[in-house]
């Protein structure tokens, strides 16, 4: 089978929280903290809150977590092939929000990061060389806000492909202001330094061409899609890249 490369746009303004709201009422809380996680806003005649917010005023979730909840349910879960009790996931630098979403599906989650503290039992590893992990270990690899600071995307794709099981999935998020609407290769546009980095460590701040990312995923034998989602509560555009090992 030849790798397939596609781009998919989803407008999340069509997915507003239902909860206990009645027809014609305004959406006032996000899809992560209402009784019903996702609802069709068109069918229920709901509309986004008139006062936009970045963090939900109820649960304080951020836009990328709200869009993750949607893409995970609509794309990742339907594409899983192994029984639930056998599923395992690798989460790179995953926040408590991300892990809470993934735990709905994955019983076995390995937390990993290059620097910092992302929960108990974490394993320090570099996404460019996941040497602590054996071949075909995971059904899913997750990385949000990680490739924003990695220039060597080809090393990442090679490393992730190795640790994924057959038909395993790789989902990653890159901030929209770091993405160009072209096929330009990744370039260093600045640097990033955090207090929890080891002394002397400064990471590069990367700009990517969207089409170039999809092309590289295709070259590394991933069936790939780019999913651009609009968070209805903040208006923020969130861009996710999904790949499935072929």
Written out in words, the top-level CATH class of the domain with range 5-245 is alpha beta
pLDDT in tens, 156-174: 999 999 999 999 999 999 9
Q: Helix H segments across the chain?
A: 41-44, 63-71, 96-102, 153-163, 210-219
User: What pLDDT sits at residue 31?
Assistant: 72
Q: Estimate to the nearest angstrom the gap between the alpha carbon of 241 and the chain centroid.
A: 7
Asked whether 6 and 218 are in contact (CB, 8 A), the reply is: no
What are φ and ψ of residue 87, in 5° steps? -80, 140
pLDDT in tens, 106-136: 999 998 877 655 455 568 888 999 999 999 9
pLDDT mean over 51-63: 74
Domain boundaries, the chain: 5-245
Q: What is the pTM of this model?
A: 0.81
pLDDT in tens, 194-246: 776 678 878 889 999 999 999 999 999 999 999 998 887 778 889 999 999 99
Question: In the predicted model, is pLDDT for residue 28 greater than 80?
Answer: no
Distance CA 202, CA 15 (A): 39
Q: Which two tokens stand for residue 190?
A: 């600045």
């Amino acid at each position: 089978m030849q790798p397939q490369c596609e781009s998919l746009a989803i407008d999340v303004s069509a997915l507003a929280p239902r909860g206990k709201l009645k027809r014609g009422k305004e959406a006032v809380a996000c899809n992560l903290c209402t009784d019903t996680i996702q609802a069709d806003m068109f069918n229920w005649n709901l509309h986004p809150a008139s006062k936009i917010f970045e963090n939900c005023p109820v649960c304080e979730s951020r836009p990328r977590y709200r869009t993750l909840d949607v893409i995970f349910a609509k794309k990742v879960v339907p594409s899983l092939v192994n029984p639930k009790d056998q599923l395992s996931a690798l989460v790179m630098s995953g926040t408590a929000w991300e892990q809470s979403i993934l735990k709905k599906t994955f019983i076995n989650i390995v937390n990993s990061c290059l620097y910092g503290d992302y929960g108990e039992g974490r394993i320090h590893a570099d996404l460019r060389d996941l040497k602590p992990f054996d071949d075909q270990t995971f059904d899913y690899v997750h990385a949000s806000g990680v490739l924003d600071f990695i220039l060597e995307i080809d090393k990442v794709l090679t490393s992730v492909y190795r640790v994924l099981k057959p038909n395993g999935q790789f989902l990653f998020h890159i901030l929209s202001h770091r993405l160009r609407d072209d096929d330009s290769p990744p370039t260093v546009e600045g640097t990033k330094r955090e207090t929890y980095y080891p002394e002397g460590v400064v990471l590069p701040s990367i700009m990517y061409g969207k089409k170039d990312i999809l092309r590289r995923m295709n070259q590394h034998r991933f069936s790939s899609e780019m999913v651009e989602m609009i968070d209805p509560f903040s208006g923020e555009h969130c861009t996710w890249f999904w790949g499935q090992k072929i």
